Structure 1
């Protein structure tokens, strides 16, 4: 017999919301199991039971925004640390891209619970996603995510000549980090000093560490795409809303 497990976990699995949102909705009485309202946190359910949410939950979720920012060097993705500002500090009415066509008006309440869905380290630039929507965060950084992330990486080889083809193949597949084999990547030369990396995972400083293993020093790193959403012409330090017709 299948063991029961937490309702919030089941709601996340079903793609209804994040676990944190699920607990909030349960506490507000917005969740039903087999048609009955459940308002007790920690309630357990079986996979066979039917979970539904009230209209208020869907209405609140539809107000939640997802923001795309072109992060400059010197900003951290998440919480402020070591005197460096978080990328969310760049989000205000004045820094919104003038070409943003989304029919959404900026309001400071949109900064509440706006968290990064994936990270870019302080020395890296490019596309960073900040979202209030737990479904977006789960899609981009959940354990079983299949979303590709594409980077342009300027490198310098520490030995005479060019990087051997065998080491380029190792970058594509064959390296391990933290005692674990990396998933296959797509790594190719764009020009004589720039590589294109396409990854389906995001370990801490992964590209920099991969490059070190084959004798390459990273001079610059820019994320240009997450899934089907591209950085495009978004200027450095500016942001725009994810449009309704865009899907990662």
Structure 2
């Protein structure tokens, strides 16, 4: 069974996802996220959804090539550095402060282990959490690899410039505005306040579906107007009932 098949029912119903007897991922509502703090929430989500490619500049500053660091290795470092922060909006009452890196005596893998609660996060658990949170929050992971050394250096410089630019930007919340936009959309059946009660995964599914339907409508308007050739349109684009990624 693929990971997606394991968590798909929880995503579709907006329910908490039980990974094992020790770890359950909580599904917050849109309103919960806004109350918690949108920026703080997505920083926490990206703790699980980031890749080593996202930290190419930071890794290079300590002499490490991001291409030689796995996403799980990157996650372990990030998690240990943030283990004392409040993660209850995603992990419920799970104690994260007691996690340490430890070597699995059987597989030899370095994992995260809390000896006080006997909770462990290995690469399989991490990948499950990561994929689930990406799907629930409409996040796409990206991994980049350089074809040669000059390209690698250029990619690091670009990442460093972007990192410096981000420091000058003030975070602008967008979730409440997205709720308002959806509430004003003719295809969405909830008002602003009811939409706030939607589980995040269900709300994001609605966002993607509305976008798909609007794209279909615009395409068909072009077909009827004679400005778009029907034969050149991908078949999937003509089916607004198809599954959205």
TM range (shorter): under 0.3
Q: Could you say which structure has the greater relative contact order, defined with CA pairs below 8 angstroms and 6 or more residues apart?
A: 2
TM-score (normalised: structure 2): 0.22
Q: Which of the pair is proportionally richer in helix?
A: 2
TM-score (normalised: structure 1): 0.21
Q: Which of the pair is proportionally richer in strand?
A: 1
